[in-house]
């Protein structure tokens, strides 16, 4: 067997094992939510009690990360909508006061986006600011 085929088979085997681990983790979470004890979960999955607890802990952590990312995406979409509408309104403004108000909205929305994305950097020389 060539080296490329061997590498491809190893990659496929690793992917299959990763899929099985994810499936077991999800089954552990579902069983736990249904009220099964850690011992029952371990018996059904054919693993130790500690492995069952660890699988569920990892699955819960990943679910938390996915939910946080989902919420972050929703908030960013709303900010994009505000910015888009503000630009439309800005093009139709009749007075300087309206333009000034919309500029404030745009700056506030962009500041929110920067904080959401973790881009809120302090300017140089501002180390003592709270």
Q: What is the pLDDT of residues 7-45, one digit of tens each?
A: 767 777 777 777 787 788 888 888 888 888 889 999 998
- Measured CA to CA, the distance from residue 123 to residue 9 in angstroms comes to 52
In a domain, 9, yes or no: yes
Tally of domains within the chain:
1
**Taking CA 107 as the corner, what is the angle to CA 128 and CA 85, rounded to the nearest 5 degrees?**
155
CB-CB contact of 104 with 89 (8 Å): no
In a domain, 128, yes or no: no
In a domain, 30, yes or no: yes
Give the DSSP H/E element, type plus range, for residue 91.
helix 49-91
In a domain, 44, yes or no: yes
Range(s) of the domain holding residue 110: 3-116
In a domain, 12, yes or no: yes
**Taking CA 63 as the corner, what is the angle to CA 61 and CA 69, rounded to the nearest 5 degrees?**
105
Q: Which pTM was predicted?
A: 0.46
* Cα 74 → chain centroid: 11
In a domain, 127, yes or no: no
In a domain, 77, yes or no: yes
In a domain, 79, yes or no: yes
């Amino acid at each position: 067997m060539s080296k490329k085929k061997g590498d491809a088979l190893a990659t496929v085997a690793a992917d299959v094992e990763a899929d099985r681990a994810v499936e077991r983790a999800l089954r552990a979470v579902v069983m736990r939510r249904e009220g099964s004890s850690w011992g029952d979960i371990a018996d059904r999955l054919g693993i130790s009690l500690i492995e069952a607890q660890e699988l569920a802990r990892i699955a819960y952590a990943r679910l938390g990360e996915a939910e946080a990312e989902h919420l972050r995406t929703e908030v960013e979409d709303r900010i994009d909508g505000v910015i888009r509408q503000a630009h439309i309104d800005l093009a139709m403004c009749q007075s300087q006061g309206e333009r000034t108000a919309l500029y404030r909205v745009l700056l506030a929305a962009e500041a929110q986006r920067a904080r959401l994305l973790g881009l809120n950097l302090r300017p140089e020389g501002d180390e003592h600011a709270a």
